[in-house]
Amino acid sequence: MAPILNGEVDIVIPTIRSLDFLENWRPFFEPYHLIIIQDGDPTKVIKVPQGFDYELYNRDDINRILGPKASCISFKDGACRCFGFLVSKKKFIYTIDDDCFVAKDPSGKDIDALAQHLDNLTKPSTPYFFNTLYDPYREGADFVRGYPFSLREGVPTAVSHGLWLNIPDYDAPTQLVKPRERNTRYVDAVMTIPKGTLYPMCAMNLAFNRELVGPAMYFGIMGDGQPLGRYDDMWAGWCSKVVCDHLGYGVKTGLPYLWHSKASNPFVNLKKEFKGLFWQEEMIPFFQSVVLPKECTNAQQCYLELAKMVKEKLGPIDPYFHNFAAAMVTWIEAWEEFNAPAKAKIDSVKSA
């Protein structure tokens, strides 16, 4: 099948292991450009399978390119992937983990996850009124009786959140009590997550419109030297959802599935996640209470406002959140540097 929107898509892969999994994706990924973020030891040579068009960044590259701003990019955590979002110039990003493989649908056909994500992102979302027959824009479906015609145009879709067969994305406590649980259930549906509802965004199989919500897809300061890990995508999911709700964009979850092969060590994960397990009971009510000013008309402005709120509202929980809020501003400064050079916007907010 001809590549869809080729030239408008970057595939971002964080890796601290190997890229052999790309062989499995070759039929679907080879036409696209890859941005590989090599985490961990920069002197380690990571082999990229022949035939792929890619750029690869290790920690030395990140430090060289960002200088002091590199402090906002995590080390030894999958959160490092957001450096790829920063340096990309494309409209769409697809990010996938290096232990994820092509899954088969119930008919036994290989699932082109990227094609499904791009379909999700190029069709509208319906965050204001739930369609009980799920995605109304899908072949063979529509809006059901009683669905307001005034809302049937939908809104632009900013995020497409895919799922996983085999190893589900469970937190460490759940993984510990259910070590052998595997997800075998293939649910043939794509749904818009309603406005005002948060969700646990997993970055294993995730795509988004970088022009609409890229600045809010910051994965935070996690991993090495930080009190928190494995909440990188959760944080980005909460921030990007409140920003999408404010800007009138949609977030979808469901198809496509991929096959997640590796269960990371639940004991190591418990150590990384530990503080997040109780901090999230305060972080989530914070995000549920966020009201962004109507003057915020793009993701950068929304994100800078969020950074101020994080410092004020989450700072009292732990000094970590003061550092986090500062890192959020650094991220936007880096974003502005690499993208819209609207420097004035940052200065105006900083002097406020």
Ligand X SMILES: O=c1ccn([C@@H]2O[C@H](COP(=O)(O)OP(=O)(O)O[C@H]3O[C@@H](CO)[C@H](O)[C@H]3O)[C@@H](O)[C@H]2O)c(=O)[nH]1
Which residue, 21 or 331, has its beta carbon nearer to ligand X?
A: 21
**Residue 168 found at the interface with Mn ion (CB under 5 A):** no
63 binds, among Mn ion, ligand X, none (CB under 5 to 8 A by kind): none
Count residues contacting Mn ion (CB under 5 A)?
3
How far is 4 from 258, CA to CA, in rounded Å? 19
Q: Kindly identify the residues of this chain, within the stretch 156-185, that bind ligand X according to CB under 6 A.
A: 169
Site string for Mn ion, 246-285 (x = CB under 5 A): ----------------x-----------------------
Cα dihedral angle (262, 263, 269, 273), rounded to 10 degrees?
A: 90
Shortest distance (Å) from residue 229 CB to Mn ion: 14
How far is 241 from 198, CA to CA, in rounded Å? 7
Count residues contacting ligand X (CB under 6 A)?
22
Question: Do the Cβ atoms of 34 and 54 come closer than 8 Å?
Answer: yes
Token digits of residue 38: 């090599």
Q: Kindly identify the residues of this chain, within the stretch 75-114, that bind Mn ion according to CB under 5 A.
A: 97, 99
Q: Look up tokens 């809302």; give the residue.
A: 151
Shortest distance (Å) from residue 176 CB to ligand X: 13
**Residue 273 found at the interface with ligand X (CB under 6 A):** no
Task: Name the packing angle between helices 266-289 and 232-247 (round to 10°).
Answer: 20
Q: Kindly identify the residues of this chain, within the stretch 240-269, that bind ligand X according to CB under 6 A.
A: 262, 264
Question: Do the Cβ atoms of 251 and 192 come closer than 8 Å?
Answer: yes
User: Residue 307 is which amino acid?
Assistant: A
Q: Of 24-32, 45-53, 75-83, 188-196, which segment contacts ligand X by CB under 6 A?
A: 75-83
39 binds, among Mn ion, ligand X, none (CB under 5 to 8 A by kind): ligand X
Residues forming a β-bridge with 223 = 75
- Here the contacts of 145-151 (C-beta below 8 Å, separation 24 or greater) are 151/126
Question: Do the Cβ atoms of 86 and 13 come closer than 8 Å?
Answer: no
How far is 276 from 238, CA to CA, in rounded Å? 14
**Residue 69 found at the interface with ligand X (CB under 6 A):** no
342 CB-side CA count, 13 A: 9
273 binds, among ligand X, Mn ion, none (CB under 5 to 8 A by kind): none
Question: Do the Cβ atoms of 283 and 239 come closer than 8 Å?
Answer: no
For residue 191, the SS3 value is strand
Site string for Mn ion, 211-250 (x = CB under 5 A): ----------------------------------------
Which residue, 64 or 262, has its beta carbon nearer to ligand X?
A: 262
Single out the residue of 99, 282, 318, 336 in contact with ligand X (rule: CB under 6 A).
Answer: 99
Q: Kindly identify the residues of this chain, within the stretch 6-45, that bind ligand X according to CB under 6 A.
A: 14-17, 39
| Binding residues for Mn ion (CB under 5 A) | 97, 99, 262
Residues near ligand X, by CB under 6 A: 14-17, 39, 76-78, 80, 97-99, 169, 202-204, 223, 230, 232-233, 262, 264
